[in-house]
Amino acid sequence: MPINKPSLEKQPKKKKAKPLTDYFDFRNNQVNQIGLILFSAFVISRILIYQFNERFDAQRWRTQHDTRAEMVDDVMDRELFLGESKAYVIKELGKPIAASTANPDAFYYYIGLLDPFSAKELSELVLVFENDKVVKIYLQPWHNRSP
């Protein structure tokens, strides 16, 4: 019958954990300093990008057509209208410009210049519907559709 006696063999010593203050020792830990600086820069840049990007505002979209290019990134990034009905899209974005005969289940909204410094091409936002629900959102060069 085995007896629960401590073994005479030496047990490996557990490695002692570094105290938290060692990670922020600014005298001799350059790797951690660089990592902390890069992480801080990343967090600050993400906060600034979030703060200065224009958020979608339905009222401004319908009344101030020149600000659509600033808001379209928010619409695309957050996929705001995926799964929404035609009635809801018209309520939020207003009436689309005349529909294309090639795709009657799509709404087209004039955006304008996306980036006035690099591209000189006008754009439009396209929302494609299936069964009265938005299934796809994308940007394309603007086609002058007459109403």
pLDDT tens-place string over residues 3-52: 666 666 777 777 887 777 766 665 556 777 788 889 999 999 888 877 76
Question: Is residue 2 included in any domain, yes or no?
Answer: no
Place of tokens 């009635």: 87
* Overall domain count for the chain: 2
- Same domain? For 132 and 71 the reply is yes
CA 73 from chain centre, in angstroms, equals: 8
* Residue % of the chain over a pLDDT of 70: 77
Question: Is residue 3 included in any domain, yes or no?
Answer: no
Domain endpoint, select from 6, 31, 51: 51
Residue 67 is part of a domain; what is its CATH number? 3.30.1450
Task: Show the CA angle centred on residue 60, arms to residues 101 and 90, nearest 5°.
Answer: 35
CA separation (Å) from 17 to 14, 22, 23, 73?
9, 10, 11, 46
Q: Whole-angstrom distance between the N-terminal and C-terminal Cα of the chain?
A: 95
Whole-structure pTM value: 0.60
- Same domain? For 82 and 31 the reply is no
Tens digit of each residue's pLDDT (9 = 90 or more) over 55-79: 788 888 888 878 888 888 888 888 8
Tens digit of each residue's pLDDT (9 = 90 or more) over 101-125: 667 788 888 888 876 666 677 888 8
Q: How far apart are CA 109 and CA 1, in angstroms?
A: 84
Question: Is residue 146 included in any domain, yes or no?
Answer: no
Q: How far apart are CA 116 and CA 26, in angstroms?
A: 45
Structure tokens at 125: 């936002």
What domain range includes position 99?
Answer: 56-141
- Same domain? For 64 and 136 the reply is yes
**Beta carbons of 107 and 87 less than 8 angstroms apart:** no
